[in-house]
Structure 1
Amino acid sequence: MSFAPGELPAQFAQHNLNIDRIEDAGSWSSKRYNVGPQCIEPVYFFNVEHENTTPLLRYMKWGVTPKWASQKPQRLSTFNARYENIERSKIWSHCLDHRCVIPIEGYFEWKTDSSKNKQPWFIRRKDQKLMFLAGLYSITSDGKYEYTIITREAPKQLEWLHSRMPVVLEPGTCDFDNWLGLEDPNWRKLSGLLKVHEKDDLEWYQVKKEVGNVKNDGEDLVKPINQESLQGFFKKEETKPVRSEVNDSIKDEEEKNSLSQETGTHSHQEPVIKKEEKDIKESPTKRRKNSTSATPSLRKKQHAITDFLGK
C-alpha cells in the first residue's frame, strides 16, 4: 500500500466508506509499492463495540497461522485461501466468523511463456481507485492479527494470465455489506457472495521483474515497462532520412519493392535492387568503351582520304 495510514480515510471516502479508527499502524506508516506474504498491511472489517457496529482499519500480517499448528515455522501456504476448500479445510474453520476486505491499489501476477521465462504483470482498476479483496482474519493466542486473501477461478478476460485471481468485492453492494456482516457464519450463504469478477473495470500491463523480491521497493515497480523505448522507436522511424534517387525508373522500382515488403513478399526484392545498382555502376564504363571503339573507324577513314589525295 503506497498510502500512509493518515491518507487512507480520504481514499475510502471515494467509495463512501467510513473508518472509525486505525489500529496497530505503528511503524508501518511508510509507503510500500511491493508487498508479499508476512508483510504488515491494512485490513478493513466490522467490530461490535458497545452494541454498535464499528468499521475498523487494522494493520495485520499477511498469512494465517492455523490454530492447531505448533509454534515452529510452518510450510503451509496460508496467505491465500482457495474458495473451493474453505468449507472443508480445518485451517479456515475458526476464521469464518472473522471476515474482512483488504484494500489494495493492484496486485502482481506472473506469466510463464513457452520458453519458461516469467514476466510479472500489474493488475489494477482503470480509474486507479482502491480495490477491495475478500479475506478472512485470525487472532493468535498472543493477540496478534493475521489475514488471508480468498481466490477463485479467473474470469475469461484474465484466463490467459493466470487460472485464478483474488475475489473482488465492490463497496456499496449487498455482497460487500453482507460479507462484512456480523451474522452467524454459514458458508453456504457466504459462498454465494464471492463471485467471479466479470466486470470490465480492470487493466493490466508488464512491470519490472524486481517485484519478485519484496526487499525491492519504489514507485517504478508499478509503472509499465518499455514505454520509453517504444516512444524512442517511433521517433526514430519518423526522422529516418529519405535516400535520394538517381532516376525515375529506380524510384518506381523501389516503390514496387516497398509494397512487396508490406505484404510480406521479400523473395525477389533484394535481387531487383542489386540489378539496378549494377546497371548504375556499369553504365558509365559501357559508355567509355563505346567512345573508344569509334576511334579506329575514324582513323581508317582519314588514311583512306590521304592515300587518295597522294595518288
Structure 2
Amino acid sequence: MCGRLSQYRGIYDFVAVLNIPNALINYAGDLPLELYNVAPSAQLALFHQEGQFLRADMVRWGWRPRWAVDRAAPIKARVDRVAHDPFFRAIWPHRAIIAIDNWFEWIDEGGPKKQPYLIRRKDRAPILCAVIGQYPTAEHEPDAHDGFVFISADSRGGMVDIHDWQPVTLNPELAREWLNPATSEKRAEQIILLRWERPEVFEWFKVDRAIGNIRNQQSGLINPSDPLI
C-alpha cells in the first residue's frame, strides 16, 4: 500500500459492518468523516474493544516506540514479522480495526507521471483492515505518542499488477475475533497470516492524478477517470 486512502463514511456505517452488538463508546463523532485523500500522520477512526464495549477513537496514522527517536514513524508492519519484531513488541497485543472505503496505489505506465489507481471492495462495503497501535483507553489518556500501523502483506493474484503489498483485510467474523481481547496472540497471528481476504473481493480502476496533491480533498477524487466496463 502506497500510503494514501479514503475514510469518508460515518462511524455507524462501519459499526454496522462489524456487527458487534455491544454498546459503542464513540470518541470519533457522529457525522460522516469525509476523508477522501488521507496521508500518513493524519487522524483516522480506529476501533478497538475495551472490555465488553467497542470503542472508536481518532488516532494518528504512524507509530514508533519512545526509544526510536532517530527514525520516522512507520505506517505499516509486515505480517510475517510483526508478531516477533522487537520494534512492535509494545503494541502487538493492542489489536484494532481501521475501516476504510478504499486505498490508492501509483503505477508507472510509461508516462511522465505515475497513474493513480483506486482499490475498493466489489460490493462497496467498508474494508476492515487489521492494525495494531497505542491508543486511548479507560486507563490511558490520549498521548502524543499514540498512533497505529497497518499490517501489510504480499499482494496476491491480479493485485500484484497494482502493487507488491496490500493491507491485511478481514471479513467481519474474523475482524470480531481479531478485536476480541480473549483471542490469544497465537490465534491472532494465525488470523493475519492465513485468513485474510482474497484478491477476488476487490476491484481497481484509474482515478484523476489530482489525488496526488494531498490538499485536494473533494469527493470527486474517488470517481473513475475512465468509464468502468
TM-score by length of 1: 0.62
Aligned to 2:101: 105
Q: Distance in 2 between matches of 1:76 and 1:116?
A: 29
Matches within 5 A, 1:47-86: 47-48=50-51, 53-70=52-69, 75-86=71-82
One-letter amino acid matched to 1:213: N
Cα root mean square deviation, aligned: 2.7
CA contact (8 A) 1:133 1:168 kept: yes
Moved more, 87-96 or 130-139: 87-96
2:27 aligned with 1:23, yes or no? yes
* Residues 1:136 and 2:132 aligned together: yes
CA positional deviation for 1:133: 0.3
8 Å contact from structure 1 (residues 25, 59) kept in 2 = no
Listed one character per residue, the Cα deviations across residues 57-84 of structure 1 (whole Å, up to 9, x for unaligned) are: 11111001313133xxx54351111112
Corresponding residue of 1:165: 166
For 1:31 and 1:77, how far apart are their aligned partners in 2?
Answer: 25
Do the aligned partners of residues 83 and 2 (structure 1) sit closer, same or farther apart at CA in structure 2, a change above 3 Å counting?
A: same
CA distance in 1, matches of 2:32, 2:16: 19
Q: Which amino acid aligns with 1:181?
A: N
Question: What are structure 2's unaligned runs of at least 5 residues?
Answer: 1-6
CA distance in 2, matches of 1:207, 1:98: 35
Identify the structure with the greater helix proportion. 1
Aligned twin of 2:8: 2
**1:180–1:15: structure 2 CA closer, same or farther, 3 Å change rule?**
closer
Compute the displacement of 1:142 (Å): 7.1
Task: Give per-residue Cα distances to partners, 1:94-149, cap 9 Å, x unaligned.
Answer: 01111001000010111123567411100111121111000001149973231111
Tell me how far 1:202 sits from its aligned partner: 1.2
The residue that corresponds to 1:38 in the other structure is 41
Question: Do 1:111 and 1:121's aligned partners in 2 also have CA atoms closer than 8 Å?
Answer: yes
Structure showing greater radius of gyration is 1
Q: Residue 122 of structure 2 corresponds to which residue in structure 1?
A: 126
Give the Cα–Cα distance (whole angstroms) in 1 for the partners of residues 118 and 135 of structure 2: 31
Percent of paired sites with the same residue: 22
| Alpha-carbon distance in 1 for matches of 2:217, 2:207 | 13
The answer to whether the Cα contact below 8 Å between 1:126 and 1:203 also exists between their aligned partners in 2 is yes
* Pair 1:219-2:225 in alignment: no
Amino acid aligned to 1:44:
F
Contact 1:67/1:91, CA 8 A, preserved across alignment: no
CA 1:77/1:210 → structure 2, altered by over 3 Å: closer, same or farther?
Answer: farther
How far the C-alpha of 1:199 sits from its partner, in A, is 5.2
* Alignment map for 1:230-245 (pairs within 5 Å): none
Amino acid aligned to 1:211: I
Segments ≥4 residues shifted beyond 6 Å: none
Offset of residue 158 of structure 1 = 0.6
Aligned residue for 2:149, secondary structure, equals: strand
Give the corresponding residue for 2:147. Answer: 146
Cross-structure match for 1:273: none
Residue equivalent to 1:202: 202
Query: Taking structure 1 as reference, are residues 124 and 89 closer, same or farther at Cα in structure 2, changes over 3 Å only?
Result: same
Task: Give the aligned length.
Answer: 215
Name whichever of 98-107 and 145-154 sits farther off: 145-154
Shift of the 29–115 alpha-carbon distance from structure 1 to 2, 3 Å rule, reads closer
